[in-house]
Amino acid sequence: MSDAAEKVIDAVGLYCPEPVFQVKIGMEQMQVGQILQVSADDPAAEDDITRWASRSGHDLLGVSKDGSVVTIRIKKTK
């Protein structure tokens, strides 16, 4: 994953719906074109966050996994 994230959220240990709420709040604080990176270990986080990004019109840049932790990168588009 290349471009550095302007905002990083550590949602490890938080469970649904908290990780997606943290992402929503984080994105509201960012400028268009900036990248948010979130890490979470909630089994529902990957689906919840990627669906939220798609519905919200943001670009999903990548998803990676390291054990039970998923890291998701999203670019704010609007």
pLDDT per residue as tens digits for the range 19-62: 999 999 999 999 999 999 999 999 999 999 999 999 999 999 99
CB 37 within 8 A of CB 53: no
**DSSP-derived 3-state class of residue 45:** helix
CATH number for the domain formed by residue range(s) 7-75 = 3.30.110.40
Q: What confidence score (pLDDT) does residue 4 get? A: 87
CA angle 25, 30, 65 (to 5 degrees): 70
pTM of the model: 0.92
Q: Cite the active site residues.
A: 16
- 58-70 average pLDDT score: 96
Where in the chain are the domains? 7-75
Q: What confidence score (pLDDT) does residue 33 get? A: 96
- 4-24 average pLDDT score: 94
For residues 11, 12, 13 and 14, what is the CA-based torsion angle, rounded to 10 degrees? 20
